């Protein structure tokens, strides 16, 4: 099975903890050993936000801030690569989808970060899954799925067990129209739209426990939200 795993930076590196990165590397190696062709996309997390905040205060423009975020995601990707068996993973971080696809075609695990400005690693993950015709996309985030309201503000917010990609697009878009993009959906609008057009099944789950991600991929055992194609 061809799987793209999107690991949020706040999940992989909430702080610079080598042990946590190693735990995620163990999961990646386990999934590869089980026969999964893996593309892994890593986010920037708090480190990227700190750099972007500092650069903004120094007068950097939005394009420069985007590039700084991309660079940080690629550093996080290199950190995960350092923990992986060198015979398993492609040794470099792809900077575009063609490079990633070529490595996957050589049966190498691919680990990448951001690609272009104004595109989050959520969108990169969805676009990579579409580009390589993945069977499934798993978003390992810091929240346990997609909710009908912001769970940090509404204690009665309910989690969707399952929803269609088009419903996800409507939910995220409505949040953006209210000026609170992504507050109740942990992936962004572009990622949701790519999922909608690609027909790829996705799962959004809490990735703070790396073993939970492993169970989700290997055993389809998870607490989160399943996102299905409209024609499923």
pLDDT single digits (tens) 131-147: 999 999 999 999 999 99
Q: 103-136 in b/e burial notation, b at 16+ Cβ within 10 A?
A: bbeeebbbbbbbbeeebbbbbbbbbbbbbbebeb
Tokens of 84: 């992986």
Give dist(CA 200, CA 100) in Å, integer.
Answer: 18
To the question of pTM greater than 0.85 for the whole model, the response is yes
Q: Is the pLDDT of residue 31 over 90?
A: yes
Residue 164 three-state SS: strand
Q: What is the mean pLDDT of residues 42-71?
A: 94
In whole numbers, what is the pLDDT of the chain averaged over residues? 91
**Which pLDDT score is estimated for 22?**
97
Of the pLDDT bands very low, low, confident and very high (cuts 50, 70, 90), residue 181 is: very low
Give dist(CA 137, CA 187) in Å, integer.
Answer: 12
CB under 8 A, 24+ apart: contacts of 58-65: 63/117
Q: Is the pLDDT of residue 90 over 80?
A: yes
Residue 221: CB atoms within 10 A of its CB come to 10
Q: What is the mean pLDDT of residues 160-188?
A: 74
Give dist(CA 19, CA 70) in Å, integer.
Answer: 24
Residue 16: CB atoms within 10 A of its CB come to 11
Q: What pLDDT digit, counting tens, does each position of 194-232 carry?
A: 999 999 999 999 999 999 999 999 999 999 999 999 865
- Any idea which of 31-35, 43-47, 153-157 has the lowest mean pLDDT? 153-157
Tokens of 37: 């062709």
Q: 46-64 in b/e burial notation, b at 16+ Cβ within 10 A?
A: ebbeebbeebeeeebeeee
Q: Is the pLDDT of residue 151 over 90?
A: no
Give dist(CA 128, CA 135) in Å, integer.
Answer: 12
Tokens of 83: 């923990």
**Which pLDDT score is estimated for 152?**
79
Of the pLDDT bands very low, low, confident and very high (cuts 50, 70, 90), residue 182 is: very low
Of the pLDDT bands very low, low, confident and very high (cuts 50, 70, 90), residue 179 is: very low
Give dist(CA 190, CA 42) in Å, integer.
Answer: 17
- Any idea which of 16-25, 63-72, 111-120, 173-182 has the lowest mean pLDDT? 173-182
**Which pLDDT score is estimated for 183?**
38
């Amino acid at each position: 099975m061809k799987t793209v795993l999107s690991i949020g930076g706040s999940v992989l590196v909430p702080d610079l903890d080598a042990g946590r990165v190693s735990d995620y590397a163990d999961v990646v190696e386990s999934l590869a050993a089980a026969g999964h062709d893996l593309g892994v996309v890593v986010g920037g997390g708090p480190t990227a936000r700190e750099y972007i905040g500092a650069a903004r205060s120094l007068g950097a423009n939005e394009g420069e801030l985007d590039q700084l975020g991309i660079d940080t995601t690629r550093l996080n990707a290199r950190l995960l690569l350092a923990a992986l068996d060198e015979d398993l993973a492609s040794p470099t971080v792809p900077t575009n989808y063609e490079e990633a696809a070529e490595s996957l075609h050589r049966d190498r695990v691919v680990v990448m970060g951001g690609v272009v400005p104004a595109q989050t690693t959520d969108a990169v993950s969805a676009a990579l899954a579409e580009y390589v015709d993945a069977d499934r996309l798993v978003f390992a985030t810091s929240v346990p799925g997609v909710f009908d309201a912001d769970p940090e503000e509404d204690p009665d917010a309910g989690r969707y067990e399952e929803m269609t990609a088009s419903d996800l697009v409507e939910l995220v878009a409505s949040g953006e129209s209210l000026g609170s993009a992504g507050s109740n959906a942990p992936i962004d609008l572009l990622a949701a739209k790519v999922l909608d057009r690609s027909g790829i099944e996705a799962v959004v789950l809490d990735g703070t426990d790396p073993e939970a991600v492993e169970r989700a991929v290997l055993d389809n055992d998870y607490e989160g939200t399943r996102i299905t194609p409209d024609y499923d």
